[in-house]
A and B are shown apart, each in its own frame.
Chain A
């Protein structure tokens, strides 16, 4: 029995006598219930998506009517070294922060699992970064890394401890700036992993652990052979989700570095924004985001497959 009372496993439910489900019997009601969702989705998500694709095939410049130019935007971006850097940066940013989030999330889940008294309290407390506005988080970490000792936490501490005599400009180098935004994204995101993994841990049947203890398995072996496999599903889903959301992130990088120094932290979303609103090139701006579509499709397919597999 799991914490929420369900069994987590598909069980044949006894049907009330006399009710034979015919396929599609609820279609009418379903249409009714789903209509608001349908209207929203078609009107404000799918339709703009189609227009995005159309825009990417034009040379739409703000203030001028658009002209069809075929794949010119795509060709341009393929040869644009700024865009290549955007791709590199996005991958580094995403892989880096997701990897850190996974590891920290696991650690957090383990720690919380070991805490008995006040677990709910701590679990709630640890979620603070996740519920805080990302703009504030970005500003906060910008200040934490600031080179001005009055604002920069790390510089203040290091200077006061006498470990340095001059402040370090953490965010002044490409590597430093990238590290800073990764840290901000990690700090914001690991609690989500922690909580999900904790829940995942609790849905692993206790009997498995008991059996392992009886067999004399040490904590580490229990973790490796029971916990991790048991968490596989949650890990996959959460990691994929985080990957997709992180690679599309705008807020943190825009507020912390605006994509700088130079283009060291420019990612898809910020580059798209800059091209569309700074250079007024909407056709090209949209195309930048569309490049992510194949990646999205793959990621989404993987997630849905993982979820479906678990259900059967």
Chain B
């Protein structure tokens, strides 16, 4: 088992220090635990699609380092190697001091006993940074204890070419069913133009949208208590039918199922598809292209593209509008040699001021979660309609394993690819919808049965 290199005394001291400051009247400044000069911390950050954001986070961390005469070594992981990197580090006992954790990670790692209990720390900095909204909190609160503090949400939106919709007099979709009907109306395979581009691949574009679809139809593989729940319901039948009909009806390019993470971006930007679900990186790409425009003609084209594209809120289902998103939070690993310094770093990164610094360079993909920063970001997100939608990400967010809390088992269901493999079996292997649902049910149950809790 992991050796706890942090003595309990140290944690208590930190907590005591925190409570002491809270006791002081008017203690607005967070009790930044003392940081010894020369401390060195390792920070793991997600390398997002928007390069300026990555640089901004690193810069923010360096500002903390300079302020305290410490050093921060920033290491990146990508969506691709997120699992492998943390897995490797856990097995190697080389986990970083502070790590960014995606939606299911706090549950998974806390279950393994890897993360420091941050309950008192969270309370301590609440004054400065605020709280997360109730629907985001389950990501980081596991069994009444806080193991991570959420920072931002990278949410998917429903991208459409509004000029295509307008020209064909089709209403902009607000539900999945409307989206499918719009796709049918706009589909023109002869001109290589398709109504939709939704791939059930093993990326967030795949399993994320599948979860949004399921949850919006009221289907969840876990109950409110986090225990396994059957998905063999009529609603799931509807879900599976939606997921597979868009393929059967030829509403998408032929190779959609094999797209990589950027496949839908490329096809959308190339105007091969009318709709797709994606994070704000599409907007970033279009803004970037405009900035790099070579001449007046090119510039005009790029401006049009930017104006014509629109990011709508993710579609709703009969049971509501629920959107799975990547919620990034900060956790501190028990292996850290200097947890107090780590907490200081986290407090710094989470502060509204630093959060806004990073957010400004994110082209809308960084939606702050904690309320102080959220409030301060309203201006940024009022730029245009797409941005206004970006800013509302936290409203519609639900975590993995809805309606239950995010648990290690739920996280494993997502990681096992069963959610996207099921529709693939219908589309590729020509299974029936019932067969696919049965298979999916079996696989999910098996994960819950064999995964040990903690």
Contact = CB atoms under 8 A, between A and B. Distances in A.
Check whether chain A touches chain B (CB < 8 angstroms).
Answer: yes
Interface stretch (B139-147, B254-262, B336-344, B372-380): B254-262
Interface string A46-65: 00000000000001011111
A172 B1 contact: no
A172 B450 CA distance: 34
A129 interface: no
Interface string A268-310: 0000001001111000000000000000000000000000000
A261 interface: yes
Chain B contact residues: helix, strand, loop or mixed: helix
Given A64-B452, A171-B255, A260-B201, A280 B412 contact: yes
B412 A279 contact: yes
Contacts of B108: 63
B415 A279 contact: yes
Contacts of B257: 172, 260-262
Given A62-B90, A65-B1, A277-B84, A262 B425 contact: yes
Interface in A235-291: 257-258, 260-264, 274, 277-280
A230 interface: no
A261 B255 CA distance: 10
Chain B residues touching A, range = 35 or more
A177 B258 contact: yes
Interface in B219-267: 253-258, 266
A166 interface: yes
B90 A63 contact: yes
Nearest to A282: B91
A262 B424 CA distance: 6
A278 B91 contact: no
B424 A278 contact: no
A169 interface: yes
A213 interface: no
A224 interface: no
B428 A278 contact: no
Contacts of B428: 173-174, 261-262, 264
A147 B253 contact: yes
Given A262-B428, A278-B415, A172 B255 contact: yes
B359 to A, nearest CB: 31
B192 interface: yes
Chain A residues touching B, range = 20 to 34
A169 B255 contact: yes
Contacts, number: 77
A167 B189 CA distance: 11
B51 to A, nearest CB: 22
A289 B189 CA distance: 44
A62 B254 contact: no
B371 to A, nearest CB: 32
A167 B425 CA distance: 24
A173 B428 CA distance: 7
Contact of A172 (B84, B258, B425): B258
Interface string B66-104: 000000000000000001100100110000000000000
A35 B82 CA distance: 41
Contact of A262 (B1, B84, B415, B421): B421
B189 A166 contact: yes
A122 interface: no
B429 A62 contact: no
Instruction: Count chain A CB atoms within 10 A of each CB in B189, B257, B412 and give the residue with the most.
Output: B257
A168 interface: yes
Nearest to A177: B258
Contacts of B424: 260-262
A166 B272 CA distance: 12
A278 B414 CA distance: 10
A65 B83 CA distance: 19
Contacts of B202: 258, 260
B62 interface: no
Nearest to B422: A262
Interface string B1-36: 100000000000000000000000000000000000
A260 to B, nearest CB: 6
B417 interface: yes
B324 interface: no
B108 to A, nearest CB: 8
A258 B451 CA distance: 25
B407 interface: no
Given A264-B428, A278-B417, A280-B412, A63 B254 contact: no
Interface string A140-184: 000000011000000000000000001111011110010000000
B254 A147 contact: yes
Given A65-B1, A169-B253, A264-B428, A278 B83 contact: yes
Interface of B: 1, 83-84, 87, 90-91, 108-109, 111-114, 189, 192, 201-202, 253-258, 266, 412, 415-417, 421, 424-425, 428-429, 450-452
Nearest first, the 8 closest Cβ-Cβ pairs linking A and B are A169-B255, A63-B112, A169-B254, A262-B424, A172-B255, A147-B255, A262-B428, A277-B84
19 contacts: A59-B450, A62-B90, A62-B112, A63-B108, A63-B112, A63-B114, A64-B112, A166-B189, A169-B254, A171-B258, A172-B256, A174-B429, A257-B258, A260-B202, A261-B258, A264-B428, A277-B87, A278-B415, A278-B416
Given A63-B91, A64-B452, A172-B256, 8 more contacts: A61-B451, A166-B189, A167-B192, A169-B254, A171-B255, A174-B429, A261-B257, A278-B83
